[in-house]
Amino acid sequence: MFLQRAWRQVAFGVYGFTQFTKSGFQEHSKKFKAEDMGVQMEGKNCLVTGGNSGIGFATAEGLASRGATVYIVCRNKEKGEAALSKIQANTGNKNIHLEICDLSSIREIKSFASRFSSENKPIHVLVNNAGLLENNRVTTAEGLELNFAVNVAGTFAMTELMMPLLEKAAPDARVITVSSGGMYITPLSKDLQYSEPNFDGVTQYARNKRIQVALTEKWSQIYGEKEIGFYTMHPGWAQTPGVAKSLPTFSEKLAGKLRTSEEGADTVVWLALQPKEKLVSGAFYFDRAEAPKHLALAGTANSHSFIDAIADELRVICSLPLSAEVSVK
């Protein structure tokens, strides 16, 4: 087990340094097709969580520049208003709206979902971008470990509660979840809230991102007949405010080698624009191409068999009704 963990770290480090940095993006971009990004999105509604900074901001701006109506969801009203004004000024698109919601709180997500759903607007693109890497073990008011609350429970609740509005936009509806290459270092874990001693925020973050990838496979299976596409993506290693705050040493050591927020968001926007027949629902994407979910010899693939039990537990944690698939078991 120790040797396997060590191998994952080494393989991830080599793979990451050659592929995930700015130079990796520049190399991969030689194969990009300019026409893929020329699609316009007038009349489409896009919801972007964590849209006030970093990759979320770049995503919201990229969608807005193509004429979409964009709703950015964030916790801080002041930062959200500043982001909204900047996106409107940069794109000339006035159909940008701010929604305030603390994505670490299931109660607030439910309140937001109820309020937003009352307007009965179809959601064509839901981008689950909001993420957190907290290095210390912090518990929310609802008793959830903070990383898990934002990255997993919040993402799960938001996606499930937006499903009726996504169905209204089918067959063009899609859910794009911003994961991380960090998930390569860990298999799926049933210890959702990291109950073991010596809490490690980086490991918990990686576990959370692995769950997102497995959940996307699960959603694709459950809701495929509803003609909603589900995708995860890896933005590469980008220089964002979140990275600078949570991983200062990493950020400093790779200064000048990290991607911009726009480069990190490129594949999110690409996924939002492509005809669904070009994409594989349940797949993991990196730099506009389907990417492997597991590194060779890392021993993580079989762990995805746990996702049914994890999805059931998440429904209980979030106090959500059973899905149609669960209810017939």
Beta strands in 180-327 (DSSP E): 229-234, 284-286, 289-290
0.85 surpassed by pTM: yes
Contact 173, 167 (CB under 8 A): yes
What letter represents residue 289's amino acid?
A
Q: Which of 105, 64, 113, 116 is nearest to 87 (CA)?
A: 64
Residue 327: its pLDDT value, please? 38
Please tell me the distance from the alpha carbon of residue 317 to that of residue 68, in angstroms, as a whole number: 34
Contact 172, 124 (CB under 8 A): yes
Residue 277: its pLDDT value, please? 95
Average pLDDT, the chain: 93
Contact 196, 133 (CB under 8 A): no
pLDDT at 39 exceeding the cut of 50: yes
Task: Write the CA distances from 87 to 79, 265, 306, 319, integer angstroms.
Answer: 12, 15, 41, 35
pLDDT at 329 exceeding the cut of 60: no
The number of residues in the chain equals: 329
Q: What are phi and psi of 272, to 5 degrees?
A: -70, -25
- Partners of residue 188 on adjacent β-strands: none
Q: Can you tell me whether residue 88 is helix, strand or coil?
A: helix
Residue 252: its pLDDT value, please? 87
Helix axes 307-317, 201-223, angle to 10 degrees: 100
Cα Rg, the chain, nearest whole Å: 19
* Percent of the chain with pLDDT strictly greater than 90: 82
Place of tokens 């009352």: 118
Across 4-8, 41-45, 106-110, 198-202, least confident range: 4-8
Residue 16: its pLDDT value, please? 79
> Quick one: average pLDDT of 262-271?
98
Residue 1: its pLDDT value, please? 64
Domains assigned to the chain: 2-27+34-322 (3.40.50.720)
Q: Strand 69-74 relative to strand 45-49: parallel, antiparallel, unpaired?
A: parallel
Contact 219, 175 (CB under 8 A): yes
Q: Name the residues annotated as catalytic.
A: 205
> What is the CB neighbour count within 10 angstroms for residue 54?
23
> Quick one: average pLDDT of 73-78?
97
Helix axes 54-64, 261-273, angle to 10 degrees: 50
